[in-house]
Structure 1
Amino acid sequence: MPNDHGYSVRGILHRTVAFFPDHTAVVDESFRYSYAELLDKVRRTAKLYHGLGVRKGDRVALMMLPSANHVVALFAAFELGAIPVALHVRESTPILAKTLARLSPRILVYEATLAQRVAELRP
């Protein structure tokens, strides 16, 4: 097993895939991913983030409910060396707007169920 990932959060997933690719990594009501499937989804999502301009050191705001997709979004940021910032979905809109203004994330990743809330944050 190559040791090019070191002991980073990103490396945790890569090392686990090397040893347990077919073991279950993440489960929610809709999805069940093995570690290999999770890494594949993380890499594809990281490629999408990169296409949107996310680079190492950039902040990626996450406005998501607990789910397998949240895990994918989180690790995709780590995959690029970006800094994921979880936003609390129950926080008030004015506080979220101030938080986003202070963070200046490159992108905001959110679930479709929160689209109306995000629309309120855009101005």
Structure 2
Amino acid sequence: MLNLLPTLEGAAAVFAGGVVGGFTRWLLMREIHHPLAATFAANIAASAVIGFSVAAPGMWRTAVGVGFAGALSTLSLLARQLGEMVKAAEFPLAIKYGLGTALAAVGAAAVGVHWASVGFQ
């Protein structure tokens, strides 16, 4: 017989993390009054959380990495902002913002992995 309990636990973990992550993103967008800076902050924070969640145990990895960080990140808004910059022929800004976000996200994820390895061992 199929055991649905792990699936339901995973769904509940993603839901709970997503609610908190979505609220956190809403707060960031409300408090940081520059749209590019708010998007950047949300994506970098989410990257650090994803890096940290790599070492989290069991359902915490699902709740924090998938739910919270997934709802906190806003890659679709980043893509929209970059598209608007390209449409407006603001190529240098688009390149700086896109590459800067990508590099900072990788760095933030690395910091998250480091602190997780320190904290969970």
Q: Report TM bin, short chain.
A: 0.3 to 0.5
Greater relative CO (CA pairs within 8 A, separation 6+): 2
**Which one has a bigger Cα radius of gyration?**
2
Bigger strand fraction: 1
Bigger helix fraction: 2
